[in-house]
């Protein structure tokens, strides 16, 4: 049921997420989450700044009232679930830009001034790392 991955900063994309609030799939039967995961990998390959953040995917993050959902996590840091993205290069770049700041942060808290416009309004939850609560 669990697949081991390399520890470190990661974006985990829900590859079964809906395409949008109104559509499950695109005209070719592809889910929004799978399209977003592909866009994240494509954009990641274009810029070495993104290499330190893994792009991983799994079916269903249980945020089913949303669509195109990702989980941003790293050991010892607050983690975040974000969603309601359009599965395209613009959203992927914003997510990766935020993830770079997140990876460089001490506890996972990124100053608002460093948030790319494309992630503002997309946060759904945050969770403390094991053994901690957030201030």
Pick the CATH number of 10-127 from 3.40.50.300, 3.40.30.10, 3.20.20.10, 3.40.710.10: 3.40.30.10
Closest CA to 94 of 62, 68, 66: 68
Give the pLDDT score at 1: 85
DSSP string, 73-100: E-TTS-EEEE----SSHHHHHHHHHHHH
Give the pLDDT score at 46: 96
User: 0.85 cut: is pTM over it?
Assistant: yes
Residue 102: CB atoms within 10 Å: 23
Give the pLDDT score at 135: 79
Who's near 27: CB < 8 A, 6+ residues apart? none
33-92 pLDDT, tens digit per residue, is: 999 999 999 999 999 999 999 999 999 999 999 999 999 999 999 999 999 999 999 999
Give me the residue spans of the domains in the chain.
10-127
Tokens of 110: 């990124």
């Amino acid at each position: 049921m669990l697949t081991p991955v390399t520890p470190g900063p990661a974006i985990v994309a829900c590859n079964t997420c809906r395409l949008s609030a109104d559509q499950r799939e695109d005209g070719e039967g592809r889910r929004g989450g799978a399209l977003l995961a592909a866009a994240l990998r494509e954009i990641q390959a274009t810029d070495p700044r993104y290499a330190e953040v893994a792009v991983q995917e799994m079916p269903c993050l249980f945020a089913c009232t949303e669509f195109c959902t990702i989980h941003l996590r790293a050991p010892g840091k607050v983690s975040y679930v974000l969603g309601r993205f359009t599965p395209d290069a613009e959203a992927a770049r914003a997510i990766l830009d935020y993830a770079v700041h997140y990876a460089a942060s001490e506890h996972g808290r990124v100053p608002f001034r460093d948030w790319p416009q494309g992630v503002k309004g997309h946060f759904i939850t945050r969770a403390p790392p094991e053994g901690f609560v957030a201030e």
